[in-house]
Amino acid sequence: MSEHRTCPHCSIELDSWIGPPESMWGEIFVCNNNECTYYLSSNDCLTEQGAKESLAFRYAVDPMNDNKPFNLLSWMPPSIREKAREYMDSIDSTP
């Protein structure tokens, strides 16, 4: 396996990110792409579960845990939320 990590949802290279000390994460790799379909569609299911509209999941992997993917909860600004809604609409309209 190479050290080259990419997001399976948008094929963009993951960014290295050091978690806060209290999280015990150490270094993780995150998809910071605001166009990522995973990120855009996660807002919809989070709001369905009653979460605040401004939250979404980013795709992330944890190298300390066999590079297992997990959901990194993150802030979604209103401008992107609009894009996310358009994206979800475009999915809904396809049969």
* Binding window for Zn ion (CB under 5 A); candidates: 24-32, 48-56, 60-68, 77-85: 24-32
Q: How many CB atoms lie within 10 A of CB 41?
A: 17
Residue 86 φ/ψ, nearest 5 degrees: -60, -40
* Cβ(53)–Cβ(36) below 8 Å: no
Nearer to Zn ion by Cβ, of 37 and 50: the residue is: 37
* Binding window for Zn ion (CB under 5 A); candidates: 25-33, 42-50, 65-73, 86-94: 25-33
- Which of the residues 32 through 91 are near Zn ion (CB under 5 A)? 33, 36
